[in-house]
A and B are shown apart, each in its own frame.
Chain A
Amino acid sequence: MADVLALDGTGRAELADEELRELYRLMLAVRHLDESAIRWQRQGLIPGYAPQLGQEAAQVGSGYALDMSRDFVFPTYREMGVARTVGVDMVEYMSTHKATWHGGLYDPKASRFAPIQAVVGGSVLHAVGWAHGQTLDGTPAGELGVAITYFGDGASSQGDVHEAMNFAAVMKAPVVFFIQNNGWAISVPTERQVAGGSVAGRAAGYGMPSIQVDGNDVVAVTQATATALAHARAGNGPAVVEAMTYRRGPHSTSDDPGRYRTLEEERTDGGEDPLARMRTRLLADGIADEAFFEEALAAARAEEEQIRAGINALGPRPGTEMFDFVYQEPTQALKAQASAWREESEHV
């Protein structure tokens, strides 16, 4: 797809064969975990989940382009594939869907992955602040840590997102705004959400470059993200990447897409499955054979099994934690409430 405004970073042109195979392995692991999570919800292991089915290429491709020794990810709630790609502990990630702890149990600082965020558009400005911090730290251009913020076409309507884009551009903050345009915000299609049809198209108005990329082509996404990251890392300011993809599943496990789209529309609008597409490509280019796919499948299954066991073993957190994390320095009133709670719950 066309560059809306050309980027001056170079990014990475070619991916090595082993990298291409790794992208496939990651997508497959993510696909398996995602489908399992839906099953787990049906089985009552977790109360709810927001599937990313169909967005594997957008999530794995962008996550793969990051330099996790210095970049930082600001997700919303559907970025399981990014989390897996950048190495977040998946049991700790999934704990949020098990209703164990809002935001997940993983350490966001060590993982360089901000807490899962239920507020649509909620973390986009945070990325700008974190990124500006890199500039203030005096990190030389070319070595800047980049904040990548993930949000949807729906989120792009939020005032905060507009503010974030303007702030970032004015301050030349090293931010990549990564939009997964999956066609839907629950029941509202993109055309009722994004005037002009493209979030990337808005970037020019903020004076920053953008790329609209085929979000179901994992290689294209990796390259586009790498280009945007290079631009920001070099001190040229923010950039937008809009990955055009499709939410193939329901919005969440409590959604019923049959109320606003037909199965026929899903089939035609969904396009080719990003996984099938990558598989065809690897085969056609002779980069992978059947044995490779079997191995990848076995690995994905084993991983899923391990994560399931981990989630199963997660008990509820002790109720005292409700009180423990409100402040660094708890108030007397809160301590009194905590001890009253302990007595009344007979947890003494």
Chain B
Amino acid sequence: MSMQQALNRALAEVMTENPRALILGEDVGQLGGVFRITDGLQKKFGEARVFDTPLAESGILGMSVGLAMAGYHPIPEVQFDGFAYPAVNQIICQVGRMNYRSRGKLPMPITLRVPSFGGIRAPEHHGESLEAMFAHVPGLKVVSPSGPNEAYHLLKYAATRQDPVIFMEPKSRYWQKGPVNTGADAAGYRPTGSRVVREGKHLTLVAWGAMVARCLQVAELAAEDGIEIEVLDLRWLKPIDAEGLAASVAKTRRAVVVHEAPRTSGLGAEVASIISERCFGTLKAPVERVTGFDVPYPSGDLEDEYIPNIDRILYGIQRVLEYRRG
């Protein structure tokens, strides 16, 4: 099934299992969302539980805070990454803090779905990567699936937590298909931590969201030259699975982090720091970052110049492999 279908199914199951779960946002009702992730859910669960709000993201998040205080589990959607910005005040000052402010008496079980990242030649503010901004906010958790199976399990897991989770969906992957284990044997599966999606011994590529698929392509190409690359899908961007990261890099002794977001203060810096803290003794080279640039996400014509492409990732790998201590 496609990631869009997997997410839709996960939402339907969460809504069925938890009668206090609610879906709200712009065009999430009859339209089923601009990406159809909530397709058919209003029909199934009624207009009280799946509803369109007026067009105001701060309103959507602020209202979700109040709904959470009233004992609901809101699953708001902001239509595109860049339209989370108008809600930032509520996300940072309220969603991230209410549990703390109330000494744990007012938990914020809010699962904020954000179609994220670029690659679809869209207008401005429809291609941005906000993980570092969200990860920097105390009180939030951040996760991003890389494929349909991850999408299904991570969303079901996130939407049953008592803490707020920012759920970043890689919109360029919505229509990619893959097997999804929805069987009874999957019921106990806890999609915490990271996941090795390809084993290798020479270098670890660390990625999340849409970049995981690209890193797998790179690993294929490198394998032709006898370089065995391990691809680690980080999945949780907060909390980062430091053990999983360290275990992989302890084995390969080299790492390259790949993300679409701008480089400076991007999540790659955090990943590199965790690796150097935990693997300094065994590392053969400094951790390399292959990222977007410190520029506003560009228009479609320049998108391919901005997003890390296969060549740029291969150059990054080469720099690490060729590194010699001075």
Interface residues of A (CB under 8 A from B): 47-48, 77, 96, 98-103, 118-121, 154-155, 157-160, 185-188, 192-193, 254-255, 259-260, 316-317, 319, 321-323, 326, 331, 333-334, 337-338, 341, 344-345
Contacts and interface: CB of A to CB of B under 8 A. Distances in A.
Query: Which of A321, A326, A337, A345 gathers most chain B CB within 10 Å?
Result: A337
Contact of A260 (B30, B83, B121, B312): B30
Interface residues of B, number: 40
B54 A341 contact: no
B83 A119 contact: yes
B244 interface: no
B305 A157 contact: no
B281 interface: no
Given A48-B122, A102-B123, A157-B55, A188 B27 contact: yes
Nearest to A119: B125
B294 interface: yes
B300 interface: yes
Nearest to B30: A260
A115 to B, nearest CB: 9
B63 to A, nearest CB: 12
Given A159-B56, A186-B31, A188-B26, A118 B300 contact: no
B86 interface: yes
Given A159-B59, A322-B293, A192 B311 contact: no
A330 to B, nearest CB: 10
B304 to A, nearest CB: 9
A-B pairs, 10 with minimum CB distance: A99-B300, A157-B54, A187-B31, A102-B124, A316-B301, A154-B55, A319-B305, A118-B124, A157-B55, A157-B56
A118 B126 contact: yes
A96 B55 CA distance: 24
Contacts of B298: 102, 322
25 contacts: A47-B300, A48-B121, A101-B299, A118-B126, A119-B83, A121-B86, A157-B59, A158-B56, A159-B58, A159-B59, A185-B26, A187-B29, A187-B52, A188-B52, A188-B54, A188-B55, A322-B305, A323-B295, A333-B264, A334-B295, A338-B293, A341-B293, A341-B305, A344-B311, A345-B305
Given A48-B123, A101-B299, A323-B295, 15 more contacts: A98-B301, A119-B83, A157-B54, A159-B58, A185-B26, A187-B30, A188-B52, A188-B54, A192-B52, A193-B55, A319-B305, A326-B295, A333-B264, A345-B305, A345-B311
